[in-house]
Structure 1
Amino acid sequence: MKEFTCIVCPKGCRIVVDDTGIRGAGCERGVEYVTKEMRTPVRMATSTVRLTGSSLPRLPVKTSAPIEKRMLMRAVKLLNDVTVTAPVKCGDVVLKDILGTGIDFVATKSACRL
């Protein structure tokens, strides 16, 4: 038996999956969420990269889309070698095509030059 809390809507249904099936979903979207979560769980990755030419030492970044959970640590580790030079605008691509997924790391904050 596995338990999930659905995050698709604010209701937060408690969904149980066992030998008899999926129970507790308040809607079809909950069933779809749990089915995907059991097959291929995905998460947004957030981190920071080094930033030069600005008063900020680090620039916050996130993935442009959810990435498979199994790839998360490898993806974030790639950021260790990334240094960005100001100016940077929120939404600028910092690292393109992470691990061949087509997903990018993008800046989540703008940074001006000193």
Structure 2
Amino acid sequence: MLVDQGRPRGGVPHAGHQLLEARPGGGRAVEHAVRDFLSRETPEIGFFGEEEGATTDTGRGLVWMLDPVDGTANFLHGIPLCGVSLGLVDKDMPTLGVIDLPFLGSRYSAAEGHGA
């Protein structure tokens, strides 16, 4: 989950922005928040998360794919190369991807036919 408190072990500084939570279950909290938001905004699209697997029908075409804490080992060691990875897959073909790196203040995205 994104929170406004603390820092992970190893010294990634808290710069006043939201940080990924460093306690057990943090990935599940992020996954729940993203899944809940996407199910409200795009109820016709399936969802698969790294923590809980498929929580909605993923056999009908479009599916959101989420890694809520991509780079967990880096995060736990205070290395800022970690973030949230989200993709949209259409019948096993990736069509959209977003990687958010909150400690670096960076976000990268790419979409089929539009590049990165």
TM class by shorter chain equals under 0.3
- Normalising by structure 1, we get a TM-score of 0.27
- Normalising by structure 2, we get a TM-score of 0.26
Question: Could you say which structure has the larger radius of gyration?
Answer: 1
Structure with greater proportional helix content: 1
